[in-house]
Chain A
Amino acid sequence: MKIQVRYFASLKEQLGPEQWLDTRTWAEPAPATVGQLRDWLVQQSQVHAQALDVGAGAHLRAALNQAVCDMDTPLLADPSGACEVAFFPPVTGG
C-alpha cells in the first residue's frame, strides 16, 4: 500500500522541507491504523519523534484521505491503492 504522509503547522516546520511530504510504499504488513503509522514514524528519527510528540501525543490530530479521524481509524486505501494521512496540532483558525 502506498501511504502519503503530510504534516502541517509546527510539525511541518520541525520536520523541514525534505520530510513534510513523505510518500512510502509498504510491503505487507503495512500499519493497520493511523496510530500504528504514527508509532512507526516516531521510530524513524529523533526529529519525527519530537514533531509527533504534540502535548506528549495527547494533542496530536490526524486526518485520513482528507477527513478528520482518530488514532484508531483503520488505514484504508482509496480505489487507486493509495492513502493520504496528515498529522497536525490542534487547529487555531478564525
Chain B
Amino acid sequence: MSAVSVSVQTADFDQSHEVAMLRQGRVDVGAVVSFVGIVRQWLPEASVAATPSDDTLTLEHYPGMTERMLLDEAQRTAACFQVLGIRVIHRVGTLPLGDQIVLVAVAASHRQAAFEACNYLMDWLKTQAPFWKKETHAGVGQWVAARDADDQALLRWQQTTDRHHTVPLVNGESP
C-alpha cells in the first residue's frame, strides 16, 4: 500500500522534512526523487532593475476541487508507476521571487519508477490541476497564458497512464 498525501497551502515547506516523512519507518524505500518548483524572474535580465525586485507571482486555486483532483491523480500515479509513497505540496497566494511554489516527492523501491512518477506528476500538474498564475511587475498584474509545450509534455505519457486514467483533460484540445 502506498502512502499518498497532498496539501494546498500558503505556508512554505521544508523539502528535507517532507522527504524524511515519506521514508519514516520504512525499509522498502530504495529511491526518493523530489522536485521543487521556484518562482523565478520571468522578465529578461535587461528589463529589470539590479536592485532587489518586488515582483511577485500570485497563485489562485479552486478550493475543494483542486485538493481532490491532486489527491486522485497522486493516487492514480502511485498505482500506475508502482511507487511506495507520494507527497505533493502546492502553494497558493502571493509569492516573491525565489520562493518555493511546488514540491513533488516520490519514494519507490527503485530509482526509475521514482523519476518517472515525479516527472509525470509535474507534467500533469502543469496542465491539469486547477491553479492559475498571475505575474506582477511594477504593480501591474498579468495572468500567465497556458503553454502548448506543457500540453505536449503530458501527452508523451499517454501510453503509460492510459490504463489508469479515464478523466477528461482540462487544457489541451478544446472539448
Which A residues fall within an 8 A CB radius of B?
A: 6, 8-10, 12-13, 58-59, 61, 63, 66-72, 86, 88-94
Q: Give Cα A13 to B167, complex, Å.
A: 28
Q: Give Cα A9 to B62, complex, Å.
A: 10
Closest Cβ–Cβ distance, residue B147 to chain A (whole Å): 8
Q: Which of A66, A71, A89 contacts B143 (CB 8 A)?
A: A89
A contact residues around B61 at 8 Å (CB): 93
Inter-subunit contact B130/A91 (CB<8 Å):
yes
Which B residues fall within an 8 A CB radius of A?
A: 37, 59-62, 64-65, 68-69, 90, 101-102, 122, 125-134, 143-146, 150, 167-171, 174-175
Inter-subunit contact B175/A70 (CB<8 Å):
yes
Inter-subunit contact B144/A86 (CB<8 Å):
no
Inter-subunit contact B122/A92 (CB<8 Å):
no
Q: Give Cα A88 to B175, complex, Å.
A: 14
Inter-subunit contact B125/A94 (CB<8 Å):
yes
A contact residues around B90 at 8 Å (CB): 93-94
B contact residues around A89 at 8 Å (CB): 132, 143, 146
Q: Give Cα A3 to B117, complex, Å.
A: 38
Inter-subunit contact B170/A91 (CB<8 Å):
yes
Q: Give Cα A2 to B146, complex, Å.
A: 32
Closest Cβ–Cβ distance, residue A13 to chain B (whole Å): 8
